[in-house]
Amino acid sequence: MARRELTNVVFVALSAIWIALTLACSWIPTYPIPGTPAVITFSSILYSGLTSPLLGLFWGSFSGFIFGWLVPYANPNTAIFGPLTFLSPTMATLMSGLFLFNRWKEAALVFAVQLVIWFSHPFAWYKAMPIVTWQYWLALALIVIPPVRKWVVNSIAERKPRNLTMALWCLAWIAYIGGDTATGNNLSVWIFGFGTSDWYYVWVPYTAYYAVAGALTCIGAAVIGSGVLLALKKANIRIIALDQTQPGTQALRTHFHMAKDTDES
């Protein structure tokens, strides 16, 4: 019990530091969102690739939730969806955590709900709008294809230098596209009025723009993430979320190394 309480204290401290760091990075713009005054910031790069590996499923999702509530106050230009802005980073960290901690079925279910919500809107079928979802299918493939999923999880869990950067890119894509982008798109069309023909020009014509922006975001997450994780490994600094099983903690009940022998399929 004492060890568990100590671990929770460590996670609280790490989460507070991580939230503060990502809030500070919210002042560093990476690219604008066409048709709006909002911008995507450097914090998206950090929380897409490192939150779950460093903090685990529960604390990572919690950090995304708190960050989402605070970031509009830190940088008003990030308040894309007003009081609902917290949903996108929360879903990003939740999706990556579910995937990384061998809860891929739950991740696939959450993503399936996102797809149903999107395709239930008439605008999703307007003219060439279906091509907007191409990035979703890549995220779904990474989640549900067993050899790919096992490779990503094991590469991150063991921090293999040869594979880590690419594995973190895959994790970041699941977080950023499967969580952040999917949630933001659904909010845009269902709640904030971007699902009309008047706004068509900010969707399909910018498909290539968002493809490049998303890919670069994930590349940044992968490069920075692999650098951090490998540096910690080289310094013999253990990462609790990766290296330890937490008995009795539901969010971390599946140890990464179990993925070598067990694959839920």
Task: With a cut of 50, say whether residue 25 has pLDDT above it.
Answer: yes
Q: How many domains does the chain have?
A: 1
Task: With a cut of 50, say whether residue 253 has pLDDT above it.
Answer: no
Is 149:256 a contact under the CB 8 Å cutoff? no
Q: Is residue 73 part of a domain?
A: yes
CA 42 – CA 237 distance, rounded (Å): 25
Closest CA to 101 of 255, 246, 265, 261: 255
The CA-CA-CA angle for residues 23, 110, 99, to 5°, reads 70
Q: Which residues contact 198 (CB under 8 A, 6 or more apart)?
A: none
Closest CA to 129 of 74, 67, 195: 195
Domain that holds residue 46: 2-260
pLDDT tens digits for range 51-70: 999 999 999 999 999 999 99
Q: Is residue 82 part of a domain?
A: yes
- Give the tokens for residue 170: 């895959």
pLDDT tens digits for range 171-187: 999 999 999 999 999 99
Q: Is residue 18 part of a domain?
A: yes
Q: What is the pLDDT of residue 2?
A: 63
Q: Is residue 198 part of a domain?
A: yes
Q: Is residue 91 part of a domain?
A: yes
Q: Is residue 265 part of a domain?
A: no
